[in-house]
Amino acid sequence: MTNPLPELVDGLPNICGSEDLIAETTRGNSSVFLSDSGIDLEKTRGCFAIALHMHQPLIPGGSADLATARVISNLRHMLEHPDIPDAHNAPVFQWCYRRMGEFIPRLVGEGLQPRVMLDYSGCLLYGLREMGADDVIDALRPLAQDPAYRRCVEWLGTAWGHAVAPSTPAQDFRLHVRAWQHHFAATFGLEALGRVRGFSPPEMALPNHPEVCYEFVKTLRECGYRWVLVQEDTVERMEDGGRVAQPHVPHRLVARNSRGESVEIIAIIKTRGSDNKLVAQMQPFYEAKGLLPVKLGGGIAPQMVTQIGDGENGGVIMNEFPPKFLQVAEEASGSQTPAVNVTEYLELLAAAGIRDADFPAVRPVHQKRIWDGFEDGSGPEKMEARIEALRREDSRFHVEGGSWTNSISWVRGYENVLGPMQSASAWFAENVTRAGVATSDPRYRRALFHLLVSQTSCFRYWGQGAWTDFGRELCRRVGG
């Protein structure tokens, strides 16, 4: 079937211009995996799901002059500059991006039931194409399109430019979410996009400011997502603010704002730990083998252990993961501890009569302390006053969001790049959005491309120096 969306438009990724078509495609709620799952829920004692997160930033690295350098993948920069730190890993990274396209057909050909969830940033997908790594995209395409393999693979939506939700303007984060959907549909087809139901937040960053979290969840729901992956340290029980008691069952993430509005989405909890090592050694399978089904609503459900880790970064995921993934696929297939994908698991629960309302409720951390002293519906000004009072009472209290660990902040220490990011966002809002520039206009696409690239988390994560210089230069280009 011919894809109505071109992958590239004027040399840039197709990230805007077909909003109505994308909205129509992501509006469906029919089952995706149920008809050919092959998993018998009644015979399942426990199950597990793994996700591989793949990302390479885009940088102004096409020449020594930062102001004129073309935007290329950091992977390409590594390959072209073997003298820079970590450059020796670039060929391995590229193979890691491709290798699921080899493993899944091999395992299916052996009559097994492999499962994996894939989270590829838009920056990575465009960067691979721009550098000519067509073999990677070609290897991945059957995993999104071929009925023999796509039942084994769940693609996860994410923010196109790998922006962290707690410190990205809400209207910009929505642009990232829709841009990824545009780009994925242009690369793998509208039917493949229609099967994407889960969202993987970059850096596992979940906003805990009530207003920001409300907009975050509202964006996901309005963009067609059914569930979101969260880390267990970033949420608390609704009833008492304590730690989640049953992390291996689905929860409902409830987001509420200062005006009394609320919205919710299913939350799948990733337990803490050394993520890459846990995924590389397929720890979720072995943990799931020790679990028993639990009561959920009026039914009994097997628990699901879920982990996500970088799919390319580090020796353990590069070297130990391939043989372990193949081994566990063989052990788990047809067993009482099968591999599943999250949407598949949710569809199996629904078919067994377990409703979303049966899942326990959670909210972002620290919110109990906010709501305990806040009159419902009082508005943003009183909300900010309440938050400031809590900061004065306790220096450890914050609304900067949660991430992989509770020690990471995406705000403190990053003022020299956050300032230009905020200025670029304001310029885009004033001169592009409010000015009414059409999303199909080349000026819109160019400005949006640089805005999204400039908000990539790497320009903060890697500290001061060259990376912050990259981020500031990309911010400058938003209005250039």
Q: Give me the tens of pLDDT residue by residue for the chain, a chain 480 residues long.
A: 567 899 999 999 999 999 999 999 999 889 999 999 999 999 999 999 999 999 999 999 877 789 999 999 999 999 999 998 889 999 999 999 999 999 999 999 999 999 999 999 999 999 999 999 999 999 999 999 999 999 999 999 999 999 999 889 999 999 999 999 999 999 999 999 999 999 999 999 999 999 999 999 999 999 999 999 999 999 999 999 999 999 999 999 999 999 999 999 999 999 976 678 999 999 999 999 999 999 999 899 999 999 999 999 889 999 999 999 999 999 999 999 999 999 999 999 999 999 999 999 999 999 999 999 899 999 999 999 999 999 999 988 888 766 544 544 445 545 667 788 889 999 999 999 999 999 999 999 999 999 999 999 887 655 566 888 888 899 999 987
Q: Which of 327, 346, 364 is the last residue of a domain?
A: 364
Give ∠ CA 118-293-306 in degrees, rounded to 5. 20
On whether both 262 and 132 belong to a single domain, the answer is yes
The strands making up 227-231's β-sheet, listed across from edge to edge, are 198-199, 227-231, 262-270, 251-256, 361-364, 235-237
Q: Which of 301, 333, 364 is the last residue of a domain?
A: 364
Domain assignment of residue 464, given as a range: 415-480
Q: Is 0.85 surpassed by the pTM of this model?
A: yes
Q: Is residue 392 part of a domain?
A: no
On whether both 88 and 224 belong to a single domain, the answer is yes
Q: Is residue 285 part of a domain?
A: yes
Q: Is residue 444 part of a domain?
A: yes
Please give the tally of structural domains in the chain.
2
On whether both 200 and 282 belong to a single domain, the answer is yes
On whether both 356 and 468 belong to a single domain, the answer is no
Three-class SS state of 46: strand
**What is the 8-class DSSP label of residue 116?**
E
On whether both 347 and 442 belong to a single domain, the answer is no
On whether both 163 and 54 belong to a single domain, the answer is yes
Q: Is residue 34 part of a domain?
A: yes
On whether both 432 and 349 belong to a single domain, the answer is no
**pLDDT single digits (tens) 170-224:** 999 999 999 999 999 999 999 999 999 999 999 999 999 999 999 999 999 999 9
On whether both 433 and 335 belong to a single domain, the answer is no
On whether both 340 and 432 belong to a single domain, the answer is no
To 10 degrees, what angle do helices 466-478 and 415-428 make? 10
Look up the CATH number of the domain holding residue 67: 3.20.110.20
On whether both 197 and 273 belong to a single domain, the answer is yes
The span from the CA of 405 to the CA of 364, in Å, is: 14
Q: Which of 321, 348, 364 is the last residue of a domain?
A: 364
Q: Is residue 159 part of a domain?
A: yes
